[in-house]
Amino acid sequence: MPDSFHIVSDRSGVRLDVFLSEKLSLTRTKVKEMIDQGHVRVGGSVVKSSLKIKPHMEIEGEIPEEEPLSLAPEAIPLDILYEDEYLLAIDKPAQMPVHPSLGHASGTLVNAVLSYLGYTSHENGEGPSMNVVGAGSVRQGQLGQIVYQGGPGSAVGHLAPPAPQTGPINVRPGIVHRLDKGTTGVILVAKDMRTQELLSALFKERDVKKTYRAIIEGHPKREEWIVRGNIGRHPVERKKMAVLARGGRSAETSFRVLERLAGCSYVEACPKTGRTHQIRVHLAHEGHPVVGDEMYGKKAKAWASRPLLHAYRIEFAHPVTHVSVKVEASVPYDMEEFMQGRGRT
């Protein structure tokens, strides 16, 4: 079902599409498309994007779901950290987009997952489900808990045989959360719609604990701190997100310094919410952007070829079996190498 919204305006003289872009944390192009398609109403009537809003004006509508893209399975190696009959946990490499887009129609995590699970490009879009066990190291934790931890070279994954490439298929990917293209680490993938719905509910209720590792510019004054600040579209640079004085959506991230190195620090980040670019935006707002972050950083191009941010651990109660699951992905080589070059012993 599409997400619905009801907003009472607190501003005057601003275009409707600009106002909703800030409030809903969507691009102005997306909002204009929603308005043009009749998904936005003021006083029960369909309106134009150029409408100037007034105080106390009631705006309601729906954010329509994206139409599933036509996708082709691609035999791209995956680093599988955990797998059962309901879901996968994958260690995403740097520079791999998660979802296809106009600029990245192939080579994405979704394309790789389709091949891994045995989807084919036949007319019905489905092939046999592969009963494949990931190669991540497994150890039994506390009673009722399963802990999976990948190590260098320990979780290479097992590819499905190359699927027939007779044409694109139409499926809705079972990926319930996102990682930025340059971010590495653990990402969950549901194998069926029911599991996807249950996992999505866990994320929505904030019952999934996510732990990240990052290398940031400079040295924070405190060893531990929390950033609370609404995040929305940057008022000028629309491709960026920003901490806003008003508008946006609530966001909270806790941070802890793990090591202080030459000119930078190695930190742990635990986002309580899941806003776009949340960790990167909160760190930049604090004056300590992620090393290598060209969008929010200061010394990005000189220091690293990507944002040195890694989704290190994810913990949750399995949505079907209810067993406690913890999945970890070892910090990648480029981050370890960077820290050694900055005085790590």
Catalytic residues: 180
Q: Measure the CA–CA gap between 157 and 189, rounded to whole angstroms.
A: 14
Q: In this structure, are residues 196 and 101 in contact, taking their beta carbons and an 8 Å threshold?
A: no
Kindly give, in sequence order, each residue whose CB lies less than 8 Å from that of residue 199, ignoring residues fewer than 6 positions away. 87, 176, 188, 190, 319
Q: Measure the CA–CA gap between 170 and 172, rounded to whole angstroms.
A: 7
3-state secondary structure at position 263: coil
**Residue 236 in tokens:** 């000028």
Amino acid identity for residue 277 in this structure: H
Q: In this structure, are residues 257 and 278 in contact, taking their beta carbons and an 8 Å threshold?
A: no
Q: In this structure, are residues 20 and 49 in contact, taking their beta carbons and an 8 Å threshold?
A: no
**Residue 230 in tokens:** 């609404």
Apex CA 331: angle with CA 327 and CA 337, to 5°?
Answer: 170
Q: Measure the CA–CA gap between 139 and 328, rounded to whole angstroms.
A: 12
